[in-house]
Amino acid sequence: MLRLYFLLILTLTLALTVFSADKYSRDDFPPGFIFGAATSAYQVEGAAREDGRTPSIWDTFSHGGGDVAVDEYHKYKEDVQLMAETGLEAYRFSISWSRLIPDGRGPLNPKGLEYYNNLINELISHGIQAHASLYNFDHPQSLEDEYGGWLSRNIVRDFTAYADVCFREFGDRVSSWSTINEPNVFAVGGYDQGTVPPGRCSYPFGNCSKGDSSTEPYLAAHNMLLAHSSTVRLYKNKYQSKQHGVIGITLYAFWLLPLSNSTEDINAAGRARDFFFGWILNPLVFGDYPEIMKKNAGLRLPVLANQESELVKGAFDFIGLIHYTTVYVMDSSKSLKLENRDFNADMAVALFFDQDGDVPFGLFSSEYPLRPWGLQGILEYFKQAYGNPPIYIHENGQVSPHISSLEDASRVEYLHAYIGSVLDAIRNGSDTRGYFVWSFLDVIEIFGGKESSYGLYFVDMDDPRLPRLPKKSAYWYSNFLKGGKVGSDGTFELEESLGESSSDAIVSVG
């Protein structure tokens, strides 16, 4: 009853919330707050077959779609220069395990080691903090072939050893480490629906050549939690006191609201939060999986033994969040009557992009609905449900078709609104410490490939030179970072130019 009351009050509070931080500047954020932008290795580096790198599961899944990407491997100096001109305070990138340790364990690749040292040194020399992610859907294919990757406990040992190398070689210059990116989405997409690497699923939940959707998502996520926790303990025991960095894990986080005010839909929204967020956060904060997951998944959900619970509980300095929009939740408890169930059937909800229930989740392909109060809602929920942990927003941005137009006014509007919502949440007590735009450049997207775009900088992927050109959003973000006062309409005068497209005098959301 208390839980239901909490959800009702929270929903009502959000419904009445007015977006208030519509006029703000960089200086309104607390001291130490970091603004940056993000990419990931497979989506941006290219050079997939060069200098000793071996295939990852993402290479196999995409059939080489990221072989070139946007070639940051060769253009990192140019890109870091752009970051400095933009005014980025931090850059969040991921390390390719198969570039650094081609066989997954054993000898290091000197060229891979050299590349990441060069990238980090270049960032530091330009006054940009290095925030590194150890894993983004891309363990070496050799480990997948040898023992099934995240389906085996062996990966806990190998991932921890890989992390040890990264801490030893780069940790003196890395401010923040994230162990695993989106373990919740990766487990469902990779092992239930087959929509992301390694592309495993079973009928009727997907059309894959191998997999078991009813058990593998839970097993993979369990091993990810153990690997994360083992890695965090290693960092804290061996490196943190000397290197003074922080370490955490990064979740994908829709804000989830009930489609109606019925008791069934309100309970469904709470259940969805437990499945999406609690799957990872409950073990980290409380030492065990949510009760509703244990009830609905039964013996298919691995048990956290006492020793594992002690290892996992408290194994973070921060929680990273990846958020793009809010979705609406409708009860679908009838799925619990199915004999063969997967994660979604156990969760027993239907998800919709619109409040009328007309646009099912997964069919939305254009811009994200502008719902900045949803990000504020997540931050408030994490504050109340999980003890207000330190949070970095590791990805937030607007998708659009990948076209040559640099007039991305909708992205400017999106950034203006969502950054303002972060400020609102901080003023309401959220311990949010950083914000990263996804993405710094147009990259190879896991959904949409070259057809969709999130970048502040346009990359012409049909031009072999892969030139980078600033969009309107790059100008807007740059001027915000450099102290420009954002008006209520998202407009301010430009004070500095970026690259070749510097003729505009005003950046506006309109």
pLDDT digits (tens, 9 = 90+) for 3-21: 443 444 444 344 434 445 5
What are the C-alpha distances in Å from 6 to residues 266, 379, 380? Answer: 11, 15, 12
Backbone angles phi, psi at 319, to 5 degrees: -115, 125
Phi-psi region of 137 (alpha: psi -120 to 50; beta: other; left: phi over 0): left
**DSSP alpha helices (H): ranges in 244-305?**
263-273, 279-286, 291-297
Residue 245 belongs to domain spanning: 32-487
Residue 143: what pLDDT? 98
Q: List the structure tokens of 504.
A: 């505009």
Greater pLDDT, 7 or 52: 52
Which percentage of the chain shows pLDDT scores above 70? 89
Question: Which run of H or E residues covers position 420?
Answer: helix 409-427
Asked if the structure places residue 466 within a domain, the reply is yes
* Structure confidence at residue 255 (pLDDT): 97
Q: Write the pLDDT tens digit of every residue in 372-397.
A: 999 999 999 999 999 999 999 999 99
- Predicted confidence (pLDDT) per residue in 445-493, tens digit: 766 667 678 899 999 988 999 999 999 999 999 999 998 877 666 665 4
Q: Write the DSSP string, 42-76.
A: HHH---TTSTT---BHHHHHHTSTTSSTT-HHHHH
How would you list the strands of the sheet with 255-258, edge to edge? 255-258, 326-331, 349-352
- Return d(Cα 467, Cα 460) in angstroms, integer: 6
| pLDDT (tens digit per residue) in 304-321 | 999 999 999 999 999 999
Instruction: Evaluate whether residue 62 is within a structural domain.
Output: yes
Q: Residue 497 pLDDT more than 60?
A: no
Phi, psi torsion values for 333, nearest 5 degrees: -65, -15
pLDDT for res 1: 41
* Interatomic CA distance for residues 403 and 326, integer angstroms: 26
Catalytic residue numbers, as ranges = 182, 395
CB 97 within 8 A of CB 139: yes
- For residue 290, is it within any domain? yes
Region 24-36: mean pLDDT is: 96
User: How high is the pLDDT of residue 169?
Assistant: 98
What would the pLDDT profile of 31-44 be if each residue is shown by its tens digit? 999 999 999 999 99
pLDDT score of 13: 46
Predicted confidence band of residue 64 (pLDDT cuts 50, 70, 90)? confident
| pLDDT given for residue 504 in this prediction | 33
pLDDT band at 503 (very low <50, low <70, confident <90, very high): very low
The phi and psi torsions of 220 (rounded to 5 degrees) equal -60, -45
Does position 429 have pLDDT exceeding 70, yes or no? yes
Q: Is residue 100 one of the residues assigned to a domain? A: yes
Q: How far is CA 367 from the centre of its chain?
A: 18
CA dihedral 182, 184, 187, 189 (to 10 degrees): -80
Is 204 within the bounds of a domain?
A: yes
Query: So what's the pLDDT on residue 487?
Result: 66
pLDDT for 461: 87
Percent of the chain scoring above 90 in pLDDT: 80
Cα–Cα distances in angstroms (integers) from residue 83 to residues 38, 128, 338, 389, 471, in the given order: 11, 8, 51, 29, 14
**Angle formed at CA 247 by CA 243 and CA 249, multiple of 5 degrees:** 160
Q: Which two tokens stand for residue 353?
A: 């992009």
Average pLDDT rounded to a whole number, residues 104-128:
98
Residue 17 maps to a domain? no
pLDDT per position as a tens digit, 320-352: 999 999 999 999 999 999 999 999 999 999 998
What digits encode the pLDDT tens for the residues 140-161?
Answer: 999 999 999 999 999 999 999 9
Mean pLDDT score across all residues of the chain: 90
Domain membership of residue 505 (yes or no) is no
For the chain, the domain total comes to: 1
Whole-number pLDDT of residue 310:
96
- In DSSP notation, 435-478 reads EEEE-SB---BTTTBTSEE--SEEE-TTSTT--EEE-HHHHHHH
Tens of pLDDT along 398-426?
988 778 779 899 999 999 999 999 999 99
Whether the pLDDT of residue 505 is over 60: the answer is: no
Q: What is the C-alpha to C-alpha distance for residues 441 and 456, in angstroms, rounded to an integer?
A: 6
The answer to whether residue 504 sits within a structural domain is no
Domain CATH for 72:
3.20.20.80
